[in-house]
Amino acid sequence: MKILLVIIVSYVIGSIPFSHIFPKIKGQDVREKGTKNVGATNAFVVGGPMMGALALIGDVTKGFLPVWLVQRFFSEPWLVVIAALAVMIGHVFPVFLNFRGGKAVATLGGVLFALDPFFGLAIFLLWILTILITRYFIPSTLGVAALIPIFMAVLGFRIEYVIWGVLAFLLLVYTHRYDIQRLLAGEELTSVESVKKYLGK
């Protein structure tokens, strides 16, 4: 019963489509413009800086909240892992948008900050640094995501969290599958080129 409660609550929270809701305030639909992805980056492109910032805060917060609540009220590490996975799956397959959601990057960040704020901040800074060095968003995101379970194992995180890190990385590989295809085909734009392309539309 406890597991079912955690799954349902975490999934429903993850399904709240902040990146869709805030641009809609300005009459914009992220599913039809920009990258057509229901994520904070596209919310910025389609709805502008304010709507993008609100979407980012919402997506990070919904990743943080279920994990923080489970840690506070339950003692089982596996319940934390279940909450972390369910909230990310809710973002990718939201019940409120016919199961068509975003890529779960911001939500992953919220989960990391709930698990360990200092570790979450370190991963965030590493991600930004990697983007600045490589100039590519997708390889940087997936590369840093792949390092999360490795860093967790080295730093002595619970094995349950390490396993979550592996599963979260695999989920991101799935959500970025078309981006990976473009990357392998040599068609992936740099982060600067992507911004210019979509802001120019």
- pLDDT (tens digit per residue) in 85-139: 999 999 999 999 989 999 999 999 999 999 999 999 999 999 999 998 988 888 9
Amino acid sitting at position 103: K
What is residue 107's predicted lDDT score, i.e. its pLDDT? 96
What is residue 157's predicted lDDT score, i.e. its pLDDT? 95
Average pLDDT over residues 66-72: 95
**pLDDT band for position 197 (50/70/90)?**
low
What is residue 27's predicted lDDT score, i.e. its pLDDT? 81
Q: Is the pLDDT of residue 193 over 70?
A: no
What is the tally of structural domains in the chain? 1
**pLDDT band for position 194 (50/70/90)?**
low
Strand, helix or coil for residue 85: helix
Range of the domain at 63: 2-199
Look up the pTM and report it. 0.90
CA dist 11 and 9 (Å) reads 6
Could you tell me the sign of the dihedral formed by the alpha carbons of 123, 127, 129, 130, in that order? positive
Contacts with 196 (C-beta within 8 Å, 6 or more apart), sequence order = none
